[in-house]
Structure 1
């Protein structure tokens, strides 16, 4: 069965949010680092598939699994953020 992908209207804001999640959120931090900002579009594309393991591997930097626990948590948050943006 093939999943149905929803269209996201404002990808630039969502891409920025995803990059910030990947970079690590903390009080007062409003921008991702340059490296995470550059990964934003790719993470958005992978998040669109719903493949949290692939998002985690991309964040972790290994390009393959298994990703560390922290990156798995970030990936789950990114997939949630994508799904909220697709509504």
Structure 2
């Protein structure tokens, strides 16, 4: 029996993932968490954002997995890219 544990993501990484999940879900006043559909997808969205592929990110948010994504999801992808790049600076 192995007692090796997977390393935990640091809090800033998880904070970014949760923020990205919320953006992908849709933000509004008072909303603090992403819905079940978007919760847990933050790491994947961040990974796509790290490549700079806005169209791929929009398609992943939209749920189609391919372009073109809808206008709302394109806007969300651009916002996620802004937040991601802000954290990288």
User: Normalising TM by the smaller chain, what interval?
Assistant: 0.7 to 0.9
Q: C-alpha distance in 2, partners of 1:57/1:82?
A: 17
Task: Say whether 1:55 aligns with 2:57.
Answer: yes
- SS of the residue corresponding to residue 67 of structure 1 reads coil
- TM-superposed deviation, 1:11: 1.1
- TM-superposed deviation, 1:54: 0.6
Bigger RCO (CA 8 Å, 6+ sep): 1
Q: C-alpha distance in 2, partners of 1:10/1:50?
A: 20
Structure 2 unaligned spans of 5+ = 1-10
> What does residue 11 of structure 1 align with?
13
Equivalent residue for 1:65, pick from 42, 64, 67: 67
> What does residue 38 of structure 1 align with?
40
Scaled by the length of structure 2, the TM-score of the pair is: 0.84
Q: C-alpha distance in 1, partners of 2:36/2:86?
A: 25
Which structure would you say has the larger Rg? 2
Q: C-alpha distance in 1, partners of 2:71/2:64?
A: 13
Q: C-alpha distance in 1, partners of 2:73/2:46?
A: 15
**Residue correspondences, number:** 79
Scaled by the length of structure 1, the TM-score of the pair is: 0.86
